[in-house]
Structure 1
Amino acid sequence: MSEQNPPKIEFPCPDYPIKVLGDAGETLYSLVLEVMENHAPGFDAGKITVRDSGKGRYQSVTVYITATGIAQLETIHKDLRAHPAVKIVL
């Protein structure tokens, strides 16, 4: 059986999606905006999508950025996961 390697990303990578799942409310949305403005300036805020869970307790916020490298993506994930309102970052 051959080993499967994850697909390689070529940078810069336009329209790279980042999905953040967490507690519903303005805090999650504001956090995502703040982190993206810090680490991916110039991202298209008009492409952000927000979806509520069935019972409205949780939300997913998806944003598309131009990923410039692994270090940028790791920093974004680290900063998002550090907040208690965030449950998962994909």
Structure 2
Amino acid sequence: MSDERETLLEFPCRFPIKAFGKDEGDFEERVYQLVKAHAPELERSDLSVRNSSGGKYLAITANITAQSQAQLDAIYGDLTDSGAVLMSL
């Protein structure tokens, strides 16, 4: 199955990483650092941040140039393992 997933995208390519979590403390910074660990070219200008209508949650999109499926898997793994990210897409 992983072979099929690897053929869906042609690398390198621009790819949006979305992370949702509570608007507490340093959530935006944590997401930035987690993604930057795997995509060193990431700049703060590559992030877009939206507050939920109630102001309790943040949606952060990090636009990266993905190099491989393994890189994307590692980013999503770290976001999931962080505990701060409620959902990532």
Identify unmatched segments of 5+ residues in structure 2. none
Quote the Cα distance in structure 1 between the aligned partners of 2:54 and 2:85. 17
Larger Rg: 1
SS at structure 1 position matched to 2:33: helix
SS at structure 2 position matched to 1:11: coil
When the two structures are superposed, what TM-score results if normalisation uses the length of structure 1?
A: 0.84
Give the ranges of 4+ consecutive aligned residues of structure 1 lying more than 2 Å apart after TM superposition: none
Per the alignment, residue 11 of structure 1 pairs with 11
SS at structure 2 position matched to 1:10: coil
- Paired-residue identity, %: 35
RMSD: 1.8
* Contact 1:21–1:88 (CA under 8 A) maintained in structure 2: yes
Q: For this pair of structures, how many residues does the alignment match?
A: 85
SS at structure 1 position matched to 2:35: helix
* Contact 2:46–2:64 (CA under 8 A) maintained in structure 1: no
Per the alignment, residue 89 of structure 1 pairs with 88
Per the alignment, residue 78 of structure 1 pairs with 77
Quote the Cα distance in structure 2 between the aligned partners of 1:46 and 1:54. 23
